[in-house]
Chains A and B, each alone.
Chain A
Amino acid sequence: MNETSDLSTQSEQPEQTESRGTMLDVSGLTKIYPDGTLAVDGIDFTVDAGDFCVIIGPSGCGKSTTLHSLVGNLDVTSGTISLDGTDITDQPTHTRDIGLVFQDFQLFPHLTVAENIVYGLEQMGLDDQEKRRRTERLLEMMQLEELADRDPEELSAGQKQRVALARSLVLEPKLLLLDEPLGDMDYKLQKRMERELLRIHREFDTTFIYVTHDQTQAMRLADQIIVMNDGQVEQSGSVAEIYNSPNTAFVSAFVGDSNTFTGTLEKETTDSSVTINTELGSFTASPDNLHSPISEVIESEMSFLVRPQHLELSDEHENTLECAVQDVIWNPGSSTQVLLDVRRDDASKELRLKSWELSTVPEGDVRVSWKPEHTILLEQTSVVEGIDLEKDILGS
Chain B
Amino acid sequence: MADQSVISIDSLRKQFADELVLDRIDLSINDGEFCVVIGPSGCGKSTLLKCIAGVTDPDSGEIHLRGKNAEATPARNRNIGLVFQEFEETLFPHKTVEENIAFGLKQKAEPPSEDQIGDQIDEMLDLLAISHTKSSYPDELSGGQQQRVELARQLVRDCDITLFDDPLADLDYKLQKRMEIEMRRLHKELESTFLYVTHNQDQALKLADRLIVMNDGVIEQIGTPEEVYTNPANAFVGRFVGDSNLLTGNVVQRADSEIRVETPVGELGVSNDGDQPAMDSEGVVLIRPEDIGIGDGAARYRNEVDVVLEGKTYTGEITEYSVSASGHRDELQVVKPGKPDKIGDKKETKIGFDPDAAQFFEEISVTGEMQVSDLLEAEQ
Contact = CB atoms under 8 A, between A and B. Distances in A.
Interface of A: 1-15, 58, 156, 158-159, 186-189, 191-192, 195, 198-199, 202, 213-216, 219-221, 239-240, 243-244, 254-257, 307, 309, 326-327, 329-335, 337, 339, 354, 356, 396
Nearest to B240: A188
A273 B313 CA distance: 31
B226 A396 contact: no
B379 A257 contact: no
Contacts of B6: none
B205 interface: yes
B341 A186 contact: no
Contact of A191 (B175, B243, B346): B243
13 contacts: A4-B337, A5-B297, A7-B295, A7-B296, A7-B297, A8-B295, A10-B342, A14-B342, A15-B345, A220-B313, A220-B315, A326-B185, A396-B145
Given A187-B199, A195-B331, A256-B316, A7 B341 contact: yes
B380 interface: yes
A331 B172 contact: no
B142 A396 contact: yes
A330 B315 contact: no
A356 B337 contact: yes
Interface of B: 40-41, 129, 142, 144-145, 172-175, 177-178, 181, 184-185, 188, 199-202, 205-206, 225-226, 229-230, 240, 242-243, 288, 290, 293-298, 310-311, 313-317, 320, 322, 331, 333, 336-346, 349, 379-380
Contacts of B144: 396
Given A215-B173, A220-B315, A10 B41 contact: no
Identify which of A6, A215, A334 gathers the most chain B CB atoms within 10 Å of its CB.
Answer: A6
B194 to A, nearest CB: 15
Nearest to A223: B313
The 9 closest A-B pairs by CB, nearest first: A11-B344, A6-B297, A7-B295, A7-B341, A332-B229, A243-B316, A219-B315, A6-B295, A158-B380
Nearest to A161: B380
Identify which of B41, B144, B296, B316 gathers the most chain A CB atoms within 10 Å of its CB.
Answer: B316
A358 B361 CA distance: 29
Contact of B314 (A14, A239, A334, A354): A239
B314 to A, nearest CB: 5
B184 A10 contact: no
A87 B309 CA distance: 38
B200 A332 contact: no
A4 B319 CA distance: 10
A157 to B, nearest CB: 8
B343 A198 contact: no
Contacts of B380: 156, 158-159, 189, 192
Given A332-B225, A333-B288, A11 B379 contact: no
A355 to B, nearest CB: 9
A11 B342 contact: yes
B337 A199 contact: no
A95 B290 CA distance: 46
Nearest to A12: B342
A227 to B, nearest CB: 13
A222 to B, nearest CB: 9
Contacts of B240: 188
Contacts of A335: 317, 337
A354 B337 CA distance: 11
Nearest to B226: A332
Nearest to A239: B314
B201 A333 contact: no
A11 B343 contact: yes
A120 B290 CA distance: 42
Given A6-B294, A7-B343, A239 B316 contact: yes
Nearest to B309: A7
Given A198-B311, A396-B145, A339 B297 contact: no
B290 A333 contact: yes
A170 to B, nearest CB: 20
Contacts of A326: 185
B206 A6 contact: no
A333 B296 contact: no
Nearest to B297: A6
Nearest to A58: B172
A188 B311 contact: no
Contacts of B229: 332-333
Contacts of A214: 173
B295 A188 contact: no
A56 to B, nearest CB: 10
B344 A15 contact: yes
Contacts of A3: 297
A199 B230 contact: no
